[in-house]
Chains A and B, each alone.
Chain A
Amino acid sequence: EIVLTQSPGTLSVSPGERATLSCRASQSVSDYLAWYQHKAGQAPRLLIYGASSWATGVPDRFSGSGSGTGFTLTISRLEPEDFAVYYCQQYANPPFTFGQGTKLEIK
């Protein structure tokens, strides 16, 4: 089973600033990596797939990069609605595991 490790566990950033979230895989997943945003009381929302492709309707302040075992989600200018928990998911090999999440909180 591929283990995804996200860092940091919690990230405190001010609105308008940049946030950088990391996801590391225990073995290569090529670019079969997705990012989701999850707010309390809501369903998760797909942001990025294929490591760097935007899902429909996702603002371009969100961007994904990386391949193999190291991936990054960058939010260039944080808006108030961006504060949430973010998960990466690999879909290279079953079971298609999630990372443990990064909580992005307002500084």
Chain B
Amino acid sequence: EVQLVQSGAEVKKPGESLKISCNVSGYMFTNYWIGWVRQMPGKGLEWMGIIYPGDSGTIYSPSFQGQVTISADKSISTAYLQWSSLKVSDTAMYYCARRWNAYYFFDYWGQGTLVTVSS
């Protein structure tokens, strides 16, 4: 069974760093792209970026390029989304999701990680 299990909710202050995770099981981690999607409070889904764990190749949305870093650790089948300096506006639910085999839509999703940034 394919599963994407995300790390738990985080409460941080502006300027702090953060790395959230997405651990996958039930398939070969290195064979499928993993993407990240943001949902700000009361808003819709936003495509942030995606990584191919096989070679760590990444594609970022211009809106998120330079604002976050997407990475992966093949040895533990885990993808990451990280910030070096959080802003209040980073408060959101973040989902990881697996890209379907050949095209850039998502067939399996994690349960989401709520990130709250507040002073």
Q: Which residue of A lies closest to B46 (CB)?
A: A98
CB contacts (< 8 Å) of A94 on chain B: these are: 59, 61, 104
Interface size (B, Cβ < 8 Å)?
24
Interface of B is mostly: strand
How large, as a class, is the contact surface on chain A?
Answer: 20 to 34
A residues in contact with B60, CB < 8 Å: 95
Among the stretches B24-32, B66-74, B76-84, B109-117, the one at the interface with A is B109-117
Known: A43-B95, A44-B95. A98 touches B107 (CB 8 A): no
Complex interface residues of chain A between 68 and 101 (CB less than 8 A to chain B): 85, 87, 89, 91, 94-101
| Inter-chain contact B61/A100, CB cutoff 8 Å | no
Least distance between A95 CB and chain B CB atoms (Å): 4
How many inter-chain residue pairs (CB < 8 Å) link A and B? 65
Q: A13 at interface (Cβ–Cβ under 8 A)?
A: no
Distance (whole angstroms) from the CB of A34 to the closest CB of chain B: 4
Contacts of B46 in A (CB 8 A): 98
Task: Return the CB mask of B21-61 against A: 1 if under 8 Å, else 0.
Answer: 00000000000000001000000111101100000000111
Which B residue's beta carbon lies closest to that of A34? B105
Q: Is A32 an interface residue (CB 8 A)?
A: yes
Complex interface: chain A residues within 8 A of B37 (CB): 44, 98
Q: Find out whether the CB atom of B100 lies under 8 angstroms from the CB atom of A98.
A: no
Name the interface residues of A1-46: CB closer than 8 Å to any CB of B. Answer: 1, 32, 34, 36, 38, 43-46
A-B contact pairs, 9 of them (CB 8 A): A34-B105, A43-B111, A45-B109, A46-B107, A55-B107, A85-B44, A87-B45, A95-B47, A98-B44
